[in-house]
Amino acid sequence: MNKKWKSAILGLGLVMPSFLILLVLVMYPVSSSIKTSFTGENDRFTLDHYKYIFTEPLIVDNIRHTLIVTFFSCLFVLIIAYSIAIYLRFSQSSIAKWVSKTYLIPMFIPGVIAVYGFINFYRDNGWIARIIGEESMPAIIYDVKGLIMINIWFNIPFTTLLLVSALQAIPNSIIEGAKDAGANILQLFWHFILPLSYRTMLVALTFLFMGIVGSFTAPFLIDRNAPQMLGVSMQQHFSVFNEIEQSSSLAVFMFLLCSLVGFFYIYSNIKGSKKELK
């Protein structure tokens, strides 16, 4: 056996464990859900389950609610995380050093504990209400505002970590040269910082969208009963109402949403790579 075949067999052996894990944990459940979503009575092909999720007013409200919460959560997380990352990258103050050592702490707090702490802090008779008065406490728990706030809290550390790594890769010479040429802060960000960290921002946005659109713990404990996030709605159809086909249709729809965002990210990367080659 020549070296070429040995290298091919070795490469196949190294890839096969990961492929088998992907096949068992991802590809098989996805294919099973797709099959179930198109299965009707007597195992016949049907589109009724998809007609249901796109025509039932409650499910349509759930989809709209999920997209609104996901959009604003991603928007606020990106704005805040970008601001923190820029501050940490270009500031040498003691406050920046302190923030750089503490902003990752939320990543190591279990989600359920964080959500219950959030509830005790912001409920109508929680710690904040005791300070400002219950009559002055706005509705946060069991409201969309609370859900967006906890999504921001959960996702800022990881997003900031990605953006800080991208900003640190920008040479100081580029920033200093732009300043010497007379560029102001807005021009620096728009023409240098943003283009050089754009791909990392897309990576962060992809992870943000996928994590928020399919989230369950925080929406289940903090969000209102109706409308619901799709993750909670899917669980209700599966466990409470025993509507496996409808829950599978919701799962496939969520998968398509995430695939669309993933396609946009891959397309942007390919387009950017072609520009670099030119």
- Tokens standing for residue 9: 């067999």
Residue 11 lies in a domain: no
Residue 3 lies in a domain: no
Distance CA 119, CA 124 (A): 9
Residue 197 lies in a domain: yes
pTM above 0.85, yes or no: no
Q: What confidence score (pLDDT) does residue 23 get?
A: 80
Residue 34 lies in a domain: no
Whether the predicted pLDDT of 181 surpasses 70: yes
The pLDDT tens digits for 34-83 are: 888 888 877 888 888 888 888 889 999 999 999 999 999 999 999 999 99
Q: Please report, for the domain that includes residue 186, its CATH number.
A: 1.10.3720.10
Q: What confidence score (pLDDT) does residue 76 get?
A: 95
Q: Give yes or no for a contact between 178 and 192, defined as CB atoms under 8 angstroms apart.
A: yes
Alpha helices in the chain (DSSP H): 3-22, 28-37, 48-55, 57-90, 94-102, 111-122, 127-132, 144-168, 172-180, 185-188, 194-213, 217-222, 230-235, 244-277
Which position has the higher pLDDT, 125 or 3? 125
Residue 140 lies in a domain: yes
Residue 10 lies in a domain: no
Query: Looking at residues 149-176, what average pLDDT do you find?
Result: 88
Parent domain of 184: 56-277
Residue 63 lies in a domain: yes
Split into its structural domains, the chain has a count of 1
Residue 36 lies in a domain: no
The pLDDT tens digits for 215-228 are: 888 899 888 888 88
